[in-house]
Amino acid sequence: MLGRLLCVPARVDSISFYGRCAAYLFFFVWGWRLYGLDIGDADIMGSFMHLIVLPIHEAGHLLFIPFGRFMTVLGGSLFQVLLPLVLMASFVFGFGGSRRDNFAASLMLWWAAVSIIDVAPYIWDAFDPKMMLLGGKTGAESDGHDWQNILGDLGLIKRAHLIAGIAHELGLVTMLAAYAWGAALLYFQFRNRDSDATEEES
């Protein structure tokens, strides 16, 4: 399995390699900036990344309707993490006729990581809801706060801050894994720049 995850083309042209290096640097810096945003103030909700994640989150609610109320509410946060993981798997294994690309897969893992980080302030806000929701009200003014409902149903509302902190650090660990994976792939690609060898077998 490790060999599959670290498989790179046996011949890598320099332009593609340095383009991937630039992409790696961009996502490296952006990821750290997102992780450094304050959970309690929900600063990430004002980021460009949140604008990407939000419609996926809302779609998740619709997709999980057949599984009952609890899963419908949880489905938003769940889907925003699951979607990039599914895309990651498609790049690793070539599902649906997609081209295998482990470096792209590492970026999908990064996306999953920042999606987890994006959820953390929402969980934090459940204990003392002040975050403005899509309907223009806070969780204190409506019953539309996902994590207030989830943690309330589980009897864990008083532990919202603890759970949010765990989610935030889980996002960091996942992001570090994505960075390590991407860096390893770039190392192997660097060794194979402009090689005359043929493509490695899967």
9-62 pLDDT, tens digit each = 778 788 888 999 999 999 999 999 999 999 998 899 889 999 999 999 999 999
* pLDDT at residue 111 tops 90: yes
Type of residue found at 1: M
Interval 168-187: pLDDT, tens: 999 999 999 999 999 999 99
Supply the DSSP symbol for 136.
S
Residue type, 18: Y
C-alpha angle 7-88-90 in degrees, rounded to nearest 5: 80
User: What's the chain's Rg over C-alpha atoms?
Assistant: 19
Q: What SS3 state is found at 193?
A: strand
